[in-house]
Amino acid sequence: MTTTSREVRFSLPSLEVAGKVWGEPGGVPVIGLHGWLDNAATFDRLAPALQGVHLVALDLAGHGLSDHLPMAGYSLWQQASIVLQVAGELGWDRFALLGHSMGAIISGVLAGSLPERILGAAMIDGLMPFTSEADDAPKQMARFFKSSLAVGNKRKPVYDSVEKAVSARVLGGTTPISRDAVSCLVERGLMPDHGGWTWRTDPQLMLPSALRFTNHHAVSFIEAIEAPTMLVLANQGVMHKHPQVLDRIERFKHIQLHKMDGGHHLHLEEQAPAVAALLNDFYAALPARDVSPA
């Protein structure tokens, strides 16, 4: 695949979505979905090593260079619906997925909901969302309401240099990540503000979910996946904090599971070539008759 990407924008009915494209039409059509608070640059070190793939990596709504959603919070199904609208703009009736973290969870929702649309789903250190049970729904909704009322009163931080923004992301991130990897994400995630720099991301992304899937909901989506599915699990990633999730993953026999040393962003770190090798094998094995030119 070409080492350089090109920018793309999709004018959808309710918002504009930005993205980065690697490869040419005729390769396996793949939509790339990044993690929470990241952007399409999460694939900058992975994409150039992919072969025979036409990758369209999106800035999901509220992230990167894409528009923000109206005041209502963000949900997995809203983001998944936007992915389908982009696929329509591309003319892709069937396509494969490449998702990291939140993007992997959205990939699972799509693959489980619309198996006839998905050629294959490759996931990196993400599979099922955080869940809660039905009895917890009123308290969860209350947390959302209270936080949404306060979000307008919070100001984004302004940094006097890009380097200080990088340092803030390294120190304040929810998972360990190298400064080098953060630099890729920050370049696309900042905008000028009052003589300095602040985050482009929508403050609403920090709100608690209004509703969460129950564990039964989450498992049902994964069990409904029919397309070839692969999960690259980081041995020092986020899911190792949740033993019950790991146990469930081991029981999904229809998912190709590859465990690899590295942190949550291993695809953006020094493990990127090894992750790319797994992805190349995965996409190359998709049935040839299903791979249509874009």
Catalytic residue ranges: 101
Question: What is the number of residues in the chain?
Answer: 294
Which 8-state DSSP code applies to residue 254?
A: T
Apex 83 CA angle, 138 and 192, nearest 5: 85
Q: How do the domains of the chain map onto residue ranges? A: 6-132+214-290
Dmax over Cα atoms in the chain, in whole Å?
54
Which tokens belong to 212?
């969460």
CATH number of 6-132+214-290: 3.40.50.1820
**What's the confidence (pLDDT) of residue 288?**
58
Which 8-state DSSP code applies to residue 212?
A: -
CA atoms of 231 and 164, how far apart (whole Å): 34
Would strands 118-124 and 16-22 be described as parallel, antiparallel, or unpaired? unpaired
Would strands 118-124 and 95-100 be described as parallel, antiparallel, or unpaired? parallel
- The string of DSSP codes covering 192-207 is EETTEEEE-S-GGGGS
Apex 105 CA angle, 209 and 12, nearest 5: 80
**What's the confidence (pLDDT) of residue 2?**
61
CA atoms of 43 and 3, how far apart (whole Å): 11
Q: How far is CA 83 from the centre of its chain?
A: 11
Would strands 118-124 and 229-234 be described as parallel, antiparallel, or unpaired? parallel
- The string of DSSP codes covering 52-91 is SEEEEEE--TTSTTSPPPPSS---HHHHHHHHHHHHHHHT
**What's the confidence (pLDDT) of residue 292?**
44
**What's the confidence (pLDDT) of residue 174?**
75
The answer to whether the Cα torsion of 230, 236, 241, 243 is positive or negative is positive
Q: If the chain, 294 residues long, is cut into consecutive pieces of 10 residues, what is the mean pLDDT of each piece?
A: 86 96 94 97 97 97 95 88 98 97 97 97 94 94 92 86 94 86 94 93 93 93 96 91 79 93 95 98 80 42
**What's the confidence (pLDDT) of residue 70?**
87
